[in-house]
């Protein structure tokens, strides 16, 4: 029972913190904002989390697990590796509406300390390993011109992140940018196919 109460309190704190981050942004949210919004004492919050950074990284880790499970599930029935890569790009794009993923760059390069940055890198490396394995499969099937899965992974993720950043910043052109996102994925994947 006590463990359930602790988890419930943690989730209340994380939910309140997320709502504060949505309203104020990560950088502009203070621990006092989270205390006031959650209704939990500062001591209670610090019992569960050492800092705002720890809360934020915990949120990202949890969201990343949900993301990876969604990706694994969506791609498991697609036999063609190129089809998997295209679907991955579409799923990646769908994350633009989730504020937590838009804040990762802000916190990653700004306020998050080295220890927490390492935890974020562990999340990202799971994605990289998964995409690299798909590229390896495509290479082994003789479907690609390039034969370096790490380079292909880096290029593909960089393209997706760049498109994601543009889409995040230019909401007024959303429909046009949606089309550009789809076109960019097709152009890249068609460009590397044999």
For CA atoms 122, 123, 124, 126, the dihedral sign is positive
C-alpha distances in angstroms, 169 versus 111, 161, 165, 166? Answer: 20, 12, 6, 5
Calculate the average pLDDT of the chain: 85
The three-point CA angle 88-62-41 to 5° equals 150
| Domains by residue range for the chain, with CATH | 1-49 (1.10.10.60), 52-192 (1.10.357.10)
pLDDT digits (tens, 9 = 90+) for 124-180: 788 899 999 999 999 999 999 999 999 999 999 999 988 887 777 776 777 788 888
- Kindly state the tokens that stand for 126: 């799971």
Residue 73 pLDDT level (bands cut at 50, 70, 90): very high
Q: How far apart are CA 22 and CA 44, in angstroms?
A: 22
Instruction: Say how many C-beta atoms besides its own lie within 10 A of residue 125's C-beta.
Output: 11
| 147, 132 contact by CB (below 8 A) | no
């Amino acid at each position: 029972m006590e463990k359930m109460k602790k988890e419930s309190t943690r989730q209340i704190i994380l939910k309140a913190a997320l709502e504060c981050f949505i309203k104020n942004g990560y950088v502009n949210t203070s621990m006092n904002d989270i205390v006031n919004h959650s209704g939990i004492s500062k001591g209670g919050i610090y019992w569960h989390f050492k800092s705002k950074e720890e809360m934020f990284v915990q949120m990202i880790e949890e969201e990343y697990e949900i993301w990876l499970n969604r990706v694994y599930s969506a791609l498991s029935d697609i036999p063609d590796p190129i089809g998997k890569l295209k679907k991955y790009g579409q799923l990646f794009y769908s994350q633009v509406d989730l504020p937590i993923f838009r804040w990762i760059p802000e916190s990653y390069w700004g306020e998050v300390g080295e220890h927490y940055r390492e935890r974020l890198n562990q999340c990202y490396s799971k994605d990289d390993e998964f995409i690299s394995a798909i590229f390896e499969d495509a290479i082994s099937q003789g479907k690609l011109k390039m034969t370096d899965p790490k380079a292909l992974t880096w290029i593909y993720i960089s393209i997706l992140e760049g498109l994601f950043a543009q889409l995040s910043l230019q909401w007024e052109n959303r429909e046009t940018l949606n089309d550009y996102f789809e076109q960019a994925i097709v152009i890249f994947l068609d460009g590397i196919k044999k």
